[in-house]
A and B are shown apart, each in its own frame.
Chain A
């Protein structure tokens, strides 16, 4: 997709999503459910009430943050599939910081702000450090980062479950959960009366988008990062150390993933638990980033779209009894189609005169002629 223009990317993203939803509806119908009720419930679950909107925005906040983490790495040609693991590690660092420092700091609003800030710093640092491992392995041992990051996801989950279950779980607790954070450690609710969503969380996500965009597009570091991703030789010629660049990219990506972990721990959970039970934001974020053509700004609409799908999916699970996993499958289909822009280019060419594909072809075809150089 790197050679395509913005308009063509947009057309492909829209067409991929629609095609995936269409296939999802066919699966729904084939499984004996009513696809019209499915579609209605999907939309109602995301936008039907104020609390549904709050839930949708909460999922979107997480997907935007994790999506930016994925995007900055993909932008540099590094496949960070380990955002989930870095997110889990970051959240755990936040939980440790909050639980261990809370007795030593003043309570109330001041203590809350302090603990949230310190917890966030811990998350950012530990997320970056955890991402440095596959970065170093790729840079200096030529180990494929797709596989190392996936292995590190499993390892993060297993080790943190072991620590939470064995050392942080109160003796009388049934579930493998830590103590809850003190009440004052939370992002205050503004506008929505939801215990697990705060507009401040969404604000952090949007601020992160802006920072990532500026870093990628307006700084020396970002310039090196993107050139190294697209033109190895040119980057090396201009004095970029490719090994160091890979590590720096992973660390930058992991720091954002760690921040996502902090928001998850503070805003959504308010305690810490078995990471195997957490939502797979880090994986869905890969779809978010791809749909956004790995552009940090594009992650916002893509994150909102997948946040809506996610919220709608959970709604259909408990109202229509259609398993929410269906939405995960649909997200997988979106990734598959986004990976295959040629499918839509060909469809556009073949149905150039009217028909279902005319919208894609009209916006896609003229650009594809000029944009094929990559």
Chain B
């Protein structure tokens, strides 16, 4: 990384920080009660809202680091949301669903999406499909087959109301003020996401496998020369991105939500696309991606907070905050330095 490159990126960061500051200043000028906006409840909802975005983002950044732009995250999340709800519902035989069955549903979503991304990986890596177009296709397939399969199972594009995963409450620690509610009385999926972010960071930057992933995207020839199968590393990274997108989808339908919704843009509502921006904003760093997801999660939750403090904006407008934030972030950050070999199929010269 050259000095000029670094300073440019730095400037963009400063720009982003300035934009955030501007938002705060505007809020202060409008005399919004900041203290009421920043409550433990807000933080908790922000974590929940950030979870699906962060999971998909961390998977997506592994795929892109390894050289495959998985732009189909949105579609895989739709399949994940559907698979989780369908598996849990079928296992219960349509009756009341137990916690164990919900967890089985989450596992099913991970497996289903891993298999689907394996197919996507074969098409993009082995058959050299155009990654952008194939990723868009995954989205369209999800938008079509998601509600279709839901109709076959439930007779309508959405599932009936399903329960969601219980919070994990640590007795004693949960009564610590602020932290207790945030970390010790919380959805296990939130904890899992934090764990995934940390492990993903350690693996990517502190293990040999992480270096392979980075080399597969930056300099596949060198990795090949070192005797590592480039495409095998890419397959593993892409399948990981699918597994995490499946988990992200499951967190929407039965993690926090109450079943699968198949209307409109489905319940994923662009979070897969926001996830891509999250890891770009986080500069391909899993912890950075997690931080960016928190930002998008916070804008998503802003509407509830504005309502509770009595600022009356119609929900059809406040729902647009995350999308507007994405545009602002993308404009300020631009396209961060993409791994060199992204989008290029690699063929060994034997």
Binding site for B on A (CB under 8 A): 1, 27, 31-32, 79, 81, 137, 141-144, 146-148, 150-152, 154-155, 158-159, 161-162, 165-166, 276, 280, 283, 286-287, 290, 323, 325-333, 335-336, 338-340, 342-343, 346
Of B40-48, B94-102, B145-153, B214-222, the segment with at least 4 beta carbons within 8 Å of chain A is B145-153
Asked if B157 and A325 make an inter-chain contact with CB atoms under 8 angstroms apart, the answer reads: yes
Separation in Å of the B336 CB from the closest CB of chain A? 9
Using known A-B contacts A158-B317, A332-B138, determine if residue A340 contacts B127 with beta carbons closer than 8 Å: yes
Instruction: Compute how far the CA of A150 lies from the CA of B317 in the bound complex, rounded to whole angstroms.
Output: 17
Q: List residues of chain B with CB within 8 A of the CB of A146.
A: 71, 132, 136
Q: List residues of chain A with CB within 8 A of the CB of B334.
A: 141-143
Asked if A332 and B140 make an inter-chain contact with CB atoms under 8 angstroms apart, the answer reads: yes
Closest residue of chain A to B140, judged by CB?
Answer: A332
Using known A-B contacts A27-B145, A287-B140, A326-B145, determine if residue A339 contacts B314 with beta carbons closer than 8 Å: no
Asked if B320 and A148 make an inter-chain contact with CB atoms under 8 angstroms apart, the answer reads: no
Judge if B134 is at the interface, Cβ distance under 8 Å: yes
Asked if B145 and A81 make an inter-chain contact with CB atoms under 8 angstroms apart, the answer reads: no
Asked if B127 and A333 make an inter-chain contact with CB atoms under 8 angstroms apart, the answer reads: no
Contacts A32-B152, A143-B327, A332-B138 supplied; 12 other A-B pairs, CB < 8 Å: A143-B331, A147-B273, A147-B277, A150-B270, A151-B326, A151-B327, A158-B323, A165-B316, A323-B148, A325-B147, A336-B123, A340-B129
Separation in Å of the A308 CB from the closest CB of chain B? 17
Binding site for A on B (CB under 8 A): 71, 123, 127-130, 132-134, 136-149, 151-152, 157, 262, 264-265, 269-270, 273, 276-277, 280, 314, 316-317, 319-320, 323-324, 326-327, 330-332, 334-335
Instruction: Compute how far the CA of A335 lies from the CA of B120 in the bound complex, rounded to whole angstroms.
Output: 13
Separation in Å of the A15 CB from the closest CB of chain B? 13
Report which of B129, B140, B323, B331 forms a contact with A154, defined as CB distance below 8 A. B323
Q: List residues of chain A with CB within 8 A of the CB of B323.
A: 151-152, 154-155, 158
- Interface SS of chain A: helix
Q: List residues of chain A with CB within 8 A of the CB of B136.
A: 81, 146, 286, 335
Instruction: Compute how far the CA of A1 lies from the CA of B334 in the bound complex, rounded to whole angstroms.
Output: 28
19 A-B residue pairs with Cβ-Cβ distance under 8 Å, sorted by A, are A1-B130, A142-B335, A144-B330, A147-B276, A147-B330, A151-B273, A151-B323, A151-B326, A152-B323, A152-B327, A159-B317, A159-B320, A165-B316, A283-B143, A323-B151, A325-B143, A325-B147, A333-B137, A333-B141
Separation in Å of the A65 CB from the closest CB of chain B? 19
Report which of A31, A143, A287, A339 forms a contact with B330, defined as CB distance below 8 A. A143
Asked if B326 and A147 make an inter-chain contact with CB atoms under 8 angstroms apart, the answer reads: yes
Instruction: Compute how far the CA of A158 lies from the CA of B313 in the bound complex, rounded to whole angstroms.
Output: 13
Separation in Å of the B80 CB from the closest CB of chain A? 16
Q: List residues of chain B with CB within 8 A of the CB of A283.
A: 140, 143
Q: List residues of chain B with CB within 8 A of the CB of A331.
A: 140, 144
Q: List residues of chain A with CB within 8 A of the CB of B144.
A: 325-332
Q: List residues of chain B with CB within 8 A of the CB of A161.
A: 316
Instruction: Compute how far the CA of A335 lies from the CA of B139 in the bound complex, rounded to whole angstroms.
Output: 10
Asked if A323 and B143 make an inter-chain contact with CB atoms under 8 angstroms apart, the answer reads: no
Asked if A158 and B265 make an inter-chain contact with CB atoms under 8 angstroms apart, the answer reads: no
Using known A-B contacts A154-B323, A166-B314, determine if residue A148 contacts B330 with beta carbons closer than 8 Å: yes
Asked if B127 and A342 make an inter-chain contact with CB atoms under 8 angstroms apart, the answer reads: yes
Asked if A137 and B317 make an inter-chain contact with CB atoms under 8 angstroms apart, the answer reads: no
Q: List residues of chain B with CB within 8 A of the CB of A336.
A: 123, 129, 134, 137-138, 141
Instruction: Compute how far the CA of A13 lies from the CA of B132 in the bound complex, rounded to whole angstroms.
Output: 18
Instruction: Compute how far the CA of A346 lies from the CA of B151 in the bound complex, rounded to whole angstroms.
Output: 36
Q: List residues of chain B with CB within 8 A of the CB of A335.
A: 133-134, 136-137, 140
Instruction: Compute how far the CA of A148 lies from the CA of B137 in the bound complex, rounded to whole angstroms.
Output: 18
Instruction: Compute how far the CA of A166 lies from the CA of B317 in the bound complex, rounded to whole angstroms.
Output: 11
Asked if B317 and A162 make an inter-chain contact with CB atoms under 8 angstroms apart, the answer reads: yes
